[in-house]
Structure 1
Amino acid sequence: MFINREAELEWVREYARRSHATPFVIYGPEGCGKTALALEAVRRFSSWYAGGIALYIDGKARRAAEAVKSNVNIGDVLAEVGGLTGSVGMSAARLAVWLLGKIVEKIAERFAPMNILVVVDELFSAVGVGEGALAVKYAQELGDRVLRSKKAELGEIPKPLAEASVSYLIFSSEGSSRRELSRHNWAHVALMWNMGERGFQQLGEALGAPDFSAAWRLCGGNPRCLFQLAELDWDAEKFLTLIASSRRIGWVVAEVARRGFADVLREAVENPDVLAEPRGLELARFLENRNFVIELSPIVIGQAPRPDDELGVGRRYAWQTPALRDAVKMALEGRV
């Protein structure tokens, strides 16, 4: 179900119009719709650019057949590249990432497209933060048209690849990935936030939400949160209890207390921007690593988040969903 992300799609369409020597890493809350956006962009790519080819690499794929998707049939190309056939588990995603260069070269040879878009979803889940940063560096080289021209002259890559516009997008939910990339100049980083209220209301109506205000207050525009709430027949109390259990909220709060940051956590529940202060930096890293909070970026695709105390959104930090914040608050009060 794809609803009300036209601004983000338009951003991707414009980005794919020409080559970029510096790829973009798009990060955002878990479940905010990054994967849906990526797949929809791949689906529409042929209508955007005649003869264009879009590749989607699923960093969480468990089977080779699921690791690579495209807007055109590239089965023969994948078979020719080899290596993916029969691979299972995380090796499928890892191999897809590291064979990507060969896949793109073969696609250029076979189809000679003028526009190539490569989207890697959850790259850092597939190969880890360290290797992921190296993969981003490779993406930088892949998008560098001057470098590709030189390689084509030397016969290192197919000539059609040197002539094509190649764009590379990486989607990530890992907060630690942004910190790693900030150490280098290999990529630009942009935020994709949860859905705006209007689009979220449309999604809620499609799912039959009985009380949109309550759903908005609990999910803050996060589509996955809304789907999970719908599966529980819109029972908010049961939903928060399940979050507390599945995300080990009790352990998280106890560990924060053991580290001496319980008071800062209590403040962060009310004002997440405390995590940007010196006394909150260590806690911020801990919560980011567990995908509880997210550092906001001034560069945003689509609608930018607005500070909202009720939703747990500050100017520099935000809880990924109000429900996560509420579950932490319940644990601090001894209710889980």
Structure 2
Amino acid sequence: IGLRYAAAYVKGLLNMIEHPQYSYENIVIIVATSEGLSRAEIGRHRWAWMMPMWNMPREGFEKLYEKIPGPKPSFEEVWRLTGGNPGALASLYMVRWDIDKAIKNIITSKRLDAFTHTLSAEERKWLLEAVENPDTLLTKEKLPLIQKLIELNLIIDSITYRDPELWIDQPPPEKNPDLGIGKYVAWQTPLHKEAVRKALKEIA
């Protein structure tokens, strides 16, 4: 529905609960979004309760991996590339496990080549540092860069707390540089992290 209408949509659902046209005994409404900007837009209102959902736990993801037919890379390699994200798994399968092609698909779909060219030399340096450790983005001067990365749905911020009750299913690990997970900021998937690395390398 787009960022512009995200908050209005959720508010409309609340109105449906509070002022129903028909009688009901119980009603629960769950709305999911994968866009970081809509999370912030909805979360600023008091009437929304936000709970993030991370990627699949390792055990469940391995069961999904085993369901995929045909030759495929080892589970450890697939886990390293996806971090348990089923969408990333599907994208790898669709390109017949061609990692370079999957990374290029992210670059072209998110126009990372154009994006990196708009950055200053200093911003590109910051971004390369964030590829290794996304928490380095959390400084005052880098806030505009964080916002751009959230707009492109490349990172997720505000993952500080790992209390299980604050997450749907399992929270992310406390910190895992290989998977692009920091204490406060994480890349959407390791493939996204590698796509940014490649885009930066190609203009160096």
* Equivalent of residue 190 in structure 1, options 51, 64, 71: 51
Question: How is 1:59-70 mapped onto 2 (pairs within 5 angstroms)?
Answer: none
Secondary structure of the 1:283 match is helix
User: How far apart in 1 are the matches of 2:95 and 2:44?
Assistant: 42
Matched length: 196
1:304 paired to 2:171: yes
Cα pair 2:82 2:190 within 8 Å, conserved? yes
Cα pair 2:6 2:42 within 8 Å, conserved? no
1:326 matched residue in structure 2: 194
Q: CA deviation at 1:230?
A: 1.4
2:3 matched residue in structure 1: 129
* 1:237-266 superposed Cα distances (whole Å, 9 cap, x missing partner): 2222232223222112112337x5212211
1:232 paired to 2:95: yes
Question: How is 1:102-181 mapped onto 2 (pairs within 5 angstroms)?
Answer: 126=1, 128-144=2-18, 157-158=21-22, 160-161=23-24, 164-181=25-42
Tell me which amino acid in the other structure corresponds to 1:323.
L
1:241 paired to 2:104: yes
Tell me which amino acid in the other structure corresponds to 1:229.
L
User: How far apart in 2 are the matches of 1:238 and 1:131?
Assistant: 34
Moved over 4 A (4+): none
* Uncovered stretches (5+) of structure 2, i.e. residues with no partner: none
2:148 matched residue in structure 1: 286
User: How far apart in 2 are the matches of 1:237 and 1:174?
Assistant: 25
Tell me which amino acid in the other structure corresponds to 1:230.
Y
Q: CA deviation at 1:326?
A: 0.5
Cα pair 2:112 2:196 within 8 Å, conserved? yes
User: How far apart in 2 are the matches of 1:227 and 1:302?
Assistant: 21
Q: 1:198 to 1:335 in 2, by over 3 A?
A: farther
User: How far apart in 1 are the matches of 2:3 and 2:73?
Assistant: 41
2:124 matched residue in structure 1: 262
User: How far apart in 1 are the matches of 2:158 and 2:85?
Assistant: 16
TM-score normalised by length of structure 1: 0.54
Q: CA deviation at 1:140?
A: 2.3
TM-score normalised by length of structure 2: 0.86
Q: CA deviation at 1:310?
A: 0.1
Q: 1:140 to 1:295 in 2, by over 3 A?
A: same
Q: CA deviation at 1:170?
A: 1.0
* Equivalent of residue 80 in structure 2, options 179, 198, 217: 217
Q: 1:235 to 1:131 in 2, by over 3 A?
A: closer
Higher relative contact order (CA 8 A, sep 6+): 2
Secondary structure of the 2:31 match is strand
Question: How is 1:20-99 mapped onto 2 (pairs within 5 angstroms)?
Answer: none
Tell me which amino acid in the other structure corresponds to 1:182.
G
Q: 1:199 to 1:251 in 2, by over 3 A?
A: same
Compare CA radii of gyration and give the structure with the larger one. Answer: 1
